[in-house]
Amino acid sequence: MQMTIRWFGSGFDVVTLEQIRQIPGVKGVITTLYGKLPGEVWQKDEIAALKAAVEAAGLTIAGIESVNIHDAIKTGASERDAFIENYITTLENLGEAGINLVCYNFMPVFDWTRTDLAKKRPDGSTTMAYDQSVIDSIDPNDMRSLLERQSNGFVLAGWEPERLAKLKELFTLYQDVDEAKLRANLKYFLESVMPVCRKYGINMAIHPDDPAWSVFGLPRIVKNEDDLLTLLAMVDDPRSGVTLCTGSLGTNPANDIPGIIKSLKGRIHFAHIRNILRTGPGRFEESAHLASAGSLDVFAIMKALFDAGFDGIIRPDHGRNIWGEKGMPGYGLFDRALGACYLTGLWEAIERGGK
């Protein structure tokens, strides 16, 4: 297990590499070229500069989150092959730089979705929360402004303003795409990139849908164990795997996460561990990582990863905003550092207890 922290790059992230380096047990970051739009090629010199910045701070790049996928690929539009070629070139350039973990998602139109980015909790901290009744009562066009108003001025990952400015067109692109079509487009994409992944030893790790159900009537195909097993069987290559995001899968109480870990054995390349507190049907908020703080048994999750022989990369997922920090929602330093230490402590105890 390698503990990491997500870092959005200088100029985008207010958390510094120097701060991350001081979190016990963290030697690597999960990072990205944050200014890149889906479909753009990541050039060798840009990757080299990112790598140099991380390494100058005494850290390594443990993986990329994310290389986002262009909507033409997700919808199976005629220009998808050109965008897949770009994606392959990006993977080659990452592979040449020795980077071999890429997280991505296949969610249509909207990436992760929340209705409140700074919900006040009883302890005075703020956190991201979701309420399906809010989604049901608003127009998807208002979704972007709802989040932008609360984002502390940060561009939110996966919510590229340039892309979402064309929301109407985006919805039109997806109007004939149902789950079966989306799945077929994912298969086409994965089959196209597997040769370059095999050549460079790159693990592709799909992120589950967040929340784990359809939003605004759009199809979603990475919601539960069945979906995950279907996609792994569909392109049965060890380089095609999963980002186990407990906070995303855990939004649906029917998802037994330790059970899912057991079934996915060997195909979990990356884990996002966080806790959520389910506050009602279709409602949840992000809690501290501690098992006792939310609805997920984080100990049982870490134990299941250990028992499955997991030796991949972990990061504490979102944190609350605590101690007055004004960070990117979900991505402040303090609560994620607490999360990293808690998860590392659990792992140490499980590992030593097992011997």
* Active-site residue set: 207, 245, 272, 317-318, 331
Interaction between residue 272 and Mn ion (CB under 5 A)? yes
Residue number with CB closer to Mn ion (107 or 164): 107
Q: How far is CA 158 from CA 164, 273, 305, in A?
A: 10, 19, 27
Written as six digits, the tokens of 324 are: 């007055």
Interaction between residue 245 and Mn ion (CB under 5 A)? yes
Interaction between residue 73 and Mn ion (CB under 5 A)? no
Query: What are the backbone angles phi and psi of residue 105, rounded to the nearest 5°?
Result: -135, 165
Interaction between residue 315 and Mn ion (CB under 5 A)? no
Interaction between residue 225 and Mn ion (CB under 5 A)? no
Residue number with CB closer to Mn ion (72 or 316): 316
Q: How far is the CB of 76 from Mn ion (least distance, A)?
A: 26
> Residue 67 contacts by C-beta under 8 Å, 6 or more apart in sequence?
32, 42, 87, 90, 91, 94, 102, 104
CB 150 within 8 A of CB 116: yes
CA 325-331-337 angle, to 5 degrees, is: 80
Q: How far is the CB of 63 from Mn ion (least distance, A)?
A: 13
**Side-by-side strand order, sheet with 126-131:** 116-120, 126-131, 283-286, 276-280
Among 135, 317, 340, 343, the residue binding Mn ion under the rule CB under 5 A is 317
d(CA 32, CA 12): 10
Q: How far is the CB of 327 from Mn ion (least distance, A)?
A: 17
Q: How far is the CB of 245 from Mn ion (least distance, A)?
A: 3
Residue number with CB closer to Mn ion (71 or 111): 111
By CB under 5 A, name the binding residues for Mn ion.
245, 272, 317
